[in-house]
Amino acid sequence: MIARPFGWTGVKVAVIGQGTWRMGESRAAQPEELRALRRGIDLGLTHIDTAEMYADGGAERLVGQAVAGRRAEVFLTTKVHPQNASYAGTLQACERSLRRLNTDYVDLYLLHFWSAGHPIADTMRAMEELVRRGWTRFIGVSNFDVRQLKEAQAALTRERLVSNQVLYHLRDREIERDVLPYCERHRIAVVGYTPLARGGFLRGVVAEIAKKRARTPRQVVLNFLTRRPSLFTIPKAGRPEHVRENAAALDFTLARQDLKTIDAAF
């Protein structure tokens, strides 16, 4: 699995990671989800993303089991829900997440999305305190537009935003207009979630390119969505076979004409 420097940090992070939205919701599905996460770590998908919001903490508990004994191998991200993002609430939310994850720290802690419920200055002040305490190495945001990114940056006094996690798939490339260029100028990593959406775009030109390259359509899509150095992605894969497929998505290079064809089609 290819890893590259994550934003301004210089820390190398797996370009394709593992998302956990909707994991931990079904007790019956958890054994297979756990196997998938562990298999992903084996294959180098060591950027694992979760949130206190997912399954009301159930996804964090599942991730905690998956990384047990292997914490040092993993770049671990979780998020505070905006309703909890007051100064004190952020500190308390992170502490709860650490307990569920069974770890002393996370690598990246994010404000899940923008909300007017708590002043951004209070949230960012809490984020900086989390770094000072050693509860997180880095801080970032999720679902922020350029205006919101600027407000968050202005509220920081000691730390810098390292990443912005956003929706990014072939049928929603809105971030390429403003958010992605802004993040690249400020050396903020862009982590795309839901890269495969519902899979409707896996036919047509994507399928044709996949056949030509002896790859799967999913692999072609993930390859395209991580084509720039600032781009990372965190597809959810609840089954080991999908994890294996995702892990091989960067084992080839799309030709320039392939990139142009996909770009024109979407």
Q: Is residue 210 part of a domain?
A: no
Q: Is residue 58 part of a domain?
A: yes
| Global confidence as pTM | 0.95
Domain count, the chain: 1
Residue 262 located in a structural domain: no
- pLDDT tens, position by position, 109-159: 999 988 768 999 999 999 999 999 999 999 999 999 999 999 999 999 999
**DSSP codes of every residue in 173-195:** -GGGTTHHHHHHHTT-EEEEEST
Supply the residues annotated as catalytic: 54
Q: Give the pair of three-digit tokens for residue 55.
A: 């399954």
How many other β-carbons are positioned within 10 Å of the β-carbon of residue 147? 11
Across the range 242-258, mean pLDDT stands at 95
Average pLDDT, stretch 72-91?
A: 97
- Residues 41-65 have pLDDT tens digits of 999 999 999 999 999 999 999 999 9
* Domain assignment present for 232: yes
CATH number, domain containing residue 125: 3.20.20.100
Note whether residue 86 is domain-resident: yes
Q: Is residue 19 part of a domain?
A: yes
Contact yes or no for 191/49 (Cβ under 8 A): yes
Average pLDDT over residues 54-83: 97
